[in-house]
Amino acid sequence: MKKDSILILDFGSQYSQIIARKIRDIGVYAIVYPYNISMNHILSKKPKGIILSGSPFSIYEKNPPLISKNILQINIPILGICYGMQLLAFLFGGDIKKSEYKEYGKTNFIIDNYNHHLFHGIPKKSIVWMSHCDQIHNLPKELKIIGHTSSCYASAFIHKIKNIYAVQFHPEVNHTEFGISIIKNFIFNICKCIINWDLNNFLKITIEKIKKRVYNKKVILGFSGGVDSFVTAYIIHKAIGKSLHCIFIDTGLLLKQEKEKISYLCNKKMNFNIKIINAKKRFLSSLNGVIDPEKKRKIIGKEFISIFQKESKKIKNVEFLAQGTIYSDVIESSLKYKKKNSIIKSHHNVGGLPTLMKLKLLEPLKKLFKDEVRKIGKELKIPKQILYRHPFPGPGLSIRIIGEINQKKISIVQKADNILFQELQNYNIYNYVSQAFIILLPIKTVGVMGDKRTYKYTSVLRITNTEDFMTATFSRLPYDFLEKVSNRIINEVDGINRLVYDITSKPPATIEWE
Ligand code: XMP
């Protein structure tokens, strides 16, 4: 671990990664560990500060995620956030109960006490982001309240003697007006960290390491065409050239001309070794009649693994499997203790691959967040059209066609999505939104075209803005753009006669519909 780092203990919150990202953005190394690592493990990392994250659990329910009371004795500054705050109060002997008033979203917060470093420079009244339904009752005598809201008397506290702080709100979420200042106060004024995290030497060091490790062996990479897999391939290619073999599986569930685009960029522009496997029929037949989104994901994951295994056996002298794993994936997959209904979707479609293939793993981006991957990609001069591509989910169009899929529906979505893409470019909107796509509903409605009745599918336009894909808001776009997209799709795509715009944020919705 780098010197001067902040260790985040994750209790299963959707926001734990955002805390780490915000701290790294400030220039201090931050790393996330599951809450149940041992105290010795924590101490061995020599963190300058510890943050206890939020959680979908409540302290008073059966088997909540807890930590040893010893954490209160280790003399490293601690900041508890949301559940982390309640947990600290609980460890000091406090009582946590369901509160009468839930607080969700933007809330007025009032500072009661400035006699500490945490709220240095923060105005007495500000907006914070809340997400809780529990409260501290009987605050332990060692603790002192330093802030409240109209329905939560203890919205922030400090320990009277120790370097222990806690806030009920989420300073890591953008909606908290002075959240970054509070985090900075904690890491610089309280933990006394110095700025130590920048990506300047990352490329040079990583390429050298790969060269040494791989030596004269071969590396295979399951290439998805997304930013992470491009940057991974590019770095490894720089290190070992033609010893990298990329395998791209055309599932038939891709966007229009995706295969052609990938082939052009890899073969012509970057000179990668890439093999494109046509597996359209196989995916379509295994998904036949499947409606449940999680089943779709499982089936697709299984097919991927089996095709990839078969193809990789055809390449000789392979010793390494490269993956475009980024830090968010590492954190997600370590959260085995997550509450059952807090696992919203099983995103990691090819999770079982490494163990099955008995290959050594090469994951050069595994410590980086997405925005850091883009910075590296920029340094590598990877074309903008790749670096700023919107993400595309592994299960592809199968989760954008709600319910049962078939070739006809796939073609309809591909055509509609392509029109959307063109208009996003024409209106110069593409780079200002985070993800934009078309969904096809299994609902037909009545329309009228050229004086004739139509009875066709309804499609949904989903366009969102987000920093981290954990929370998102629908994009507020000009009506003439929306009208143009709607007119073109209805006129040019046979099969759709209605387009609706999804104006739900995440939460409570998710970005994809399945
Ligand atoms: P949700 O729908 O969970 O999406 O709000 C957040 C981000 O994840 C993408 N997504 C997936 N990516 N496999 C993936 O590789 C999946 O099963 C999957 N489901 C959603 C989604 O496109 C968005 O960028």
Express as a percent the part of the chain with pLDDT over 70: 95
CA neighbor of 434 nearest in space, from 488, 386, 382, 472:
472
pLDDT at residue 236 tops 50: yes
Span from the CA of 510 to the centroid of ligand 1 (angstroms): 9
Concerning whether 191 is annotated as a catalytic residue, the answer is: no
More reliable by pLDDT, 468 or 218: 218
Mean pLDDT of the chain: 92
Concerning whether 170 is annotated as a catalytic residue, the answer is: yes
CA neighbor of 148 nearest in space, from 188, 110, 201:
110
Two structure tokens written together for 72: 């209160």
DSSP 391: P
Q: Which residue's alpha carbon is nearest to atom 3 within ligand 1?
A: 510
Two structure tokens written together for 118: 């945490």
Q: Indicate the top mutation candidate among 511, 513, 514 to test ligand 1's pocket, ranked by most ligand atoms within 8 A of CB.
A: 511
pLDDT at residue 352 tops 80: no
Instruction: Write down the pLDDT at residue 189.
Output: 97
Radius of gyration of the chain (CA): 25
pLDDT at residue 371 tops 90: no
| CA separation for the pair 274, 228 (Å, rounded) | 16
The C-alpha angle 399, 405, 407, rounded to 5 degrees, equals: 120
Dump pLDDT digits (tens) for 174-230.
889 999 999 999 999 999 999 988 887 899 999 999 999 999 999 999 999 999 999
3-state secondary structure (DSSP) of residue 97: strand
Express as a percent the part of the chain with pLDDT over 90: 76
Dump pLDDT digits (tens) for 385-407.
899 999 999 999 999 999 999 99
Instruction: Write down the pLDDT at residue 197.
Output: 87
Q: Which residue's alpha carbon is nearest to atom 17 within ligand 1?
A: 347
The active-site residue, picked from 132, 159, 170, 390, is 170
| CA separation for the pair 234, 312 (Å, rounded) | 19
What residues are paired with 463 via a beta bridge? 436
Pick the atom of ligand 1 nearest to 392's CA. 22
Q: Which residue's alpha carbon is nearest to atom 10 within ligand 1?
A: 393
Q: 110 pLDDT band (50/70/90 cuts)?
A: very high
**In 171-206, which positions are buried (b, 16+ CB within 10 angstroms) versus exposed (e)?**
bbbeebbbbbbbbbbbbbebbebeeebeeeebbeeb
pLDDT at residue 269 tops 90: no
pTM of the predicted model as reported, rounded to 2 decimal places: 0.79
Dump pLDDT digits (tens) for 279-323.
999 999 999 999 999 999 999 989 998 998 898 889 999 999 999
Instruction: Write down the pLDDT at residue 1.
Output: 46
The active-site residue, picked from 103, 159, 172, 246, is 172
Span from the CA of 274 to the centroid of ligand 1 (angstroms): 25
Residues comprising the chain, all counted: 514
Span from the CA of 396 to the centroid of ligand 1 (angstroms): 9
Q: Which residue's alpha carbon is nearest to atom 4 within ligand 1?
A: 511
Instruction: Write down the pLDDT at residue 339.
Output: 57
Amino acid identity at 88? L
Instruction: Write down the pLDDT at residue 171.
Output: 97
**In 394-422, which positions are buried (b, 16+ CB within 10 angstroms) versus exposed (e)?**
bbbbbbbbbeebeeebbebbbbbbbbbbe
Instruction: Write down the pLDDT at residue 3.
Output: 72
Between strands 435-449 and 164-167, the pairing is unpaired
DSSP 272: -
The C-alpha angle 278, 247, 470, rounded to 5 degrees, equals: 100
What residues are paired with 78 via a beta bridge? 50, 164
What is the spatial order of strands in the sheet that 5-10 belongs to?
29-34, 5-10, 49-52, 78-81, 164-167, 156-159, 143-148, 95-111, 125-137
Q: Which residue's alpha carbon is nearest to atom 16 within ligand 1?
A: 347
Pick the atom of ligand 1 nearest to 346's CA. 17
Q: 506 pLDDT band (50/70/90 cuts)?
A: confident
Mean pLDDT value across residues 55-61: 93
Calculate the dihedral angle through the C-alpha atoms of 451, 453, 456, 460, rounding to the nearest 10 degrees.
50
The total of other beta-carbon atoms located within 10 Å of residue 218's CB is 18
Mean pLDDT value across residues 15-29: 92
How far does Cα 299 stand from its chain's mean position?
Answer: 22
Q: Which residue has the tokens 């196989």?
A: 282
Residue 34 in contact with residue 335, Cβ under 8 Å? Answer: yes
Ligand 1 residue neighbourhood (C-beta within 6 Å): 297, 344-345, 347, 349, 391, 393-395, 435, 469, 506, 510-512
Span from the CA of 356 to the centroid of ligand 1 (angstroms): 24
**In 58-79, which positions are buried (b, 16+ CB within 10 angstroms) versus exposed (e)?**
ebeeeebbebeeebbeeebbbb
pLDDT at residue 382 tops 70: yes
DSSP 334: T
Q: Which residue's alpha carbon is nearest to atom 9 within ligand 1?
A: 393
Instruction: Write down the pLDDT at residue 417.
Output: 98
Dump pLDDT digits (tens) for 409-447.
999 999 999 999 999 999 999 999 999 999 999 999 999
Span from the CA of 468 to the centroid of ligand 1 (angstroms): 11
Concerning whether 348 is annotated as a catalytic residue, the answer is: no
The active-site residue, picked from 82, 152, 246, 266, is 82
